[in-house]
Amino acid sequence: MTTRDTMYTEDIANAGNLKEYCSPLDETVSQLPPEMDRSGNVEYKTKLEAVTDSRTTHLATQLQWRLAEGNGHAVYMIGVRDDGFLVGITEPELEATISAIQNMALQLANVAIVSISKRVLAHRGDRVVAEVHIDQHSNTPRTEVRVAVLGELGVGKSTVLGCLTYGEADDGHGKARLNLLRHRHEVESGRTSSIALGVIGFNADGHVLNYANNRSAEQIYQRSHHVVTLIDTCGYAKHLKTTARAITGHSPHAFCVTIAADRGLVTPTTREYMRIAAVLRMPLMIVLTKMDIAAKSTFAALMHDILATLDVTVPGRGRCIVTDTTESKQLAEDMMRLVVVPIFTTSAVRTLGFSELTSVMSKTLQAPTCANPDAAASPMFEFHVEHTYSIDNVGTVVTGWVNQGSVNISATSVDKRRLCIGPDSTGGFVDIEVNSIHTLRIPTELAETGTSAALAIETHEPVSIEKGMVILDTEYLNKHGRKQVSGEFTARIAILSQEFRSMQSVIVHIRSAYRLAHVLDIADDVGTFGHSQQQSGLDRDFAVVRLRFDDNVCDYLSSGLAIVARDGQNLVFAGHVADVLQ
């Protein structure tokens, strides 16, 4: 399993639904397929009797692995040999085996037997076989922060992520990044062309949990109290569409802009990323890479240029070059409050600077967004769909982020929210039911504001579910939300390319979708984003723009929603939705 799979994979299943398997409870079955030792959540056991403490510990480890394979659900077939033959056992032997499984479950966190079903083998006297279902639910409170890693082509973004997520030094030729790359052409060219996700966790003591001390993403999530998801983006201009989708669709809580220390100046692309961070009111950190090959004179000139660029692009925030871990907590808090921009100096070859970087990340917690400061306490529910899957025996699974409110599948029928998904091509929504929830690959009953989640849903009528859709509280939609479904809106923006003023249409990224939009009007906007144009030093950069989607397309829009626009391979503006027009 590579780090690109750390958030969601197509094997997401809910706790009550399994991948297809043969059951010994079927009266027509006398032989099951051989047990799969290296994969799957199904374990065969003939019987377990007189199990010692050391043996119980070993079996508990095996159970934890089966639970991880089943995303929190495991099935034990009792009275079945490894080759699948149903030998059956006596009732006393079954009781002893169930008792052993219960002792195994007690050694693990939040693991319990949820059902035991048995069948008498008529052709073998009083012998029985049984099917035992075991669930693991997480009650450990976890915090999550998503960081978008941005930077020019060749600065070492993927290499930094590889060092963080695998705890390994680079060989100077990009070895550390190989675990993140998804395609063969990426390995051959060294250019990332798709979004990859890396994960590092932190336990209660703040110690780093990654693939160096864990064998899977599930284990990292299970053991972590705080999780940082790193979103690796593309530096090559050809793949700007993918990078723009990472900024708006993956809902990052902070930007990490990487700059190669052996380059003497801040490039225009890096300057744009800093500017976007300011416009979107995004916490920002700077990571300087390749310190092992940077000349002193080059580094000094680069650092001077970085500080000057921050003064212009991110006015009002202090800067701090991080050299130790003593003030990590205060630094993380100030960064998330948009008070300071920390600057880290790193070398992937010598693994320098990573302890300071991870120390700050371990203290970095979500801050309420400026646009929706009361999102956590919102009476409504809003979920942004990033990916959709169709899984055997589960149905439709959507993955994404809870933007507001919460959903609880354990609520009674009276208290349970009525939800709907949309809008479709006509602006309509379809009622759905949420059957199960996974947050950070862990089965749970609740998904709250700010968390990434996978929801197994059931639609009440056929609908084509697409990236960029939203799941809403039906009552809220009927009372207030219909007026937010529109194809025309105004936005307060910072213009990144002056060519935009002469453009008639642009491609606008909203959440995980992108659409062609016609430019109806542009007006200068003085004093936007909390400071005047004169203070920023960038005259005529702020504007209010009126846009209309092409071909009568509509979307669910809300004031404060982040948007980014491009024209081919160039970013032209970034900002927020101001007003939704009908």
Quote the pLDDT of residue 436: 86
Checking if the pLDDT of 372 tops 70, the result is no
Q: Any residues with CB less than 8 A from the CB of 40 and at least 6 apart, and which? A: 19, 21, 66, 69, 70
% of the chain beyond a pLDDT of 90: 57
pLDDT in tens, 253-292: 999 999 999 988 999 999 999 999 999 999 999 999 999 9
Checking if the pLDDT of 201 tops 90, the result is yes
Confidence of residue 526 (pLDDT cuts 50, 70, 90): low
- At 403, the amino acid letter reads N
Checking if the pLDDT of 10 tops 80, the result is no
What does the alpha-carbon distance between residue 425 and residue 339 come to, in Å, rounded to a whole number? 42
Confidence of residue 188 (pLDDT cuts 50, 70, 90): low
Quote the pLDDT of residue 18: 41
% of the chain beyond a pLDDT of 70: 87
What mean pLDDT comes out for the span 409-428? 80
What does the alpha-carbon distance between residue 400 and residue 387 come to, in Å, rounded to a whole number? 7
What mean pLDDT comes out for the span 79-94? 93
Quote the pLDDT of residue 538: 44
Quote the pLDDT of residue 417: 82
The region of weakest confidence among 91-105, 236-250, 547-561 is 236-250
* Cβ atoms of residues 356 and 419 within 8 Å: no
Question: Between the CA of residue 331 and those of 357, 358, 581, what are the distances in Å?
Answer: 11, 12, 41
Checking if the pLDDT of 412 tops 70, the result is no
Confidence of residue 413 (pLDDT cuts 50, 70, 90): low
Confidence of residue 556 (pLDDT cuts 50, 70, 90): very high
* Cβ atoms of residues 290 and 260 within 8 Å: yes
Confidence of residue 15 (pLDDT cuts 50, 70, 90): very low
Quote the pLDDT of residue 527: 55
Quote the pLDDT of residue 113: 92
Quote the pLDDT of residue 197: 87
Higher pLDDT, 178 or 479: 479
Quote the pLDDT of residue 367: 63
Higher pLDDT, 505 or 368: 505
Higher pLDDT, 395 or 562: 562
Higher pLDDT, 371 or 187: 187
Higher pLDDT, 306 or 372: 306
Confidence of residue 573 (pLDDT cuts 50, 70, 90): very high
Of 390, 2, 392, nearest to 177 (Cα)? 2
Most confident of 16-30, 136-150, 177-191, 322-336: 322-336
Checking if the pLDDT of 383 tops 80, the result is yes
Higher pLDDT, 98 or 158: 98
Q: Which residue has the tokens 């209010």?
A: 544
Other beta carbons less than 10 A from residue 222's beta carbon: 25
Checking if the pLDDT of 374 tops 80, the result is no
Checking if the pLDDT of 393 tops 90, the result is no
Query: In DSSP terms, which residues pair with 575 in a beta bridge?
Result: 493, 563
Confidence of residue 3 (pLDDT cuts 50, 70, 90): very low
pTM: predicted TM-score of the whole model, two decimal places: 0.79
* Cβ atoms of residues 352 and 300 within 8 Å: no
Over the chain, what is the mean pLDDT?
85
- At 454, the amino acid letter reads A
The region of weakest confidence among 333-342, 366-375, 513-522 is 366-375
Checking if the pLDDT of 186 tops 80, the result is no
Q: What's phi and psi for 564, nearest 5 deg?
A: -135, 140
What does the alpha-carbon distance between residue 495 and residue 481 come to, in Å, rounded to a whole number? 30
Higher pLDDT, 185 or 392: 392
Higher pLDDT, 221 or 361: 361
Query: In DSSP terms, which residues pair with 202 in a beta bridge?
Result: 208, 226
Quote the pLDDT of residue 100: 95
Higher pLDDT, 267 or 537: 267
Checking if the pLDDT of 521 tops 90, the result is yes
The region of weakest confidence among 17-21, 276-280, 412-416 is 17-21
Confidence of residue 139 (pLDDT cuts 50, 70, 90): low
Question: Between the CA of residue 391 and those of 13, 436, 457, what are the distances in Å?
Answer: 8, 13, 11
Q: Which residue has the tokens 């599930």?
A: 218
Checking if the pLDDT of 381 tops 70, the result is yes
Confidence of residue 415 (pLDDT cuts 50, 70, 90): low
pLDDT in tens, 286-309: 999 999 999 999 999 999 999 999
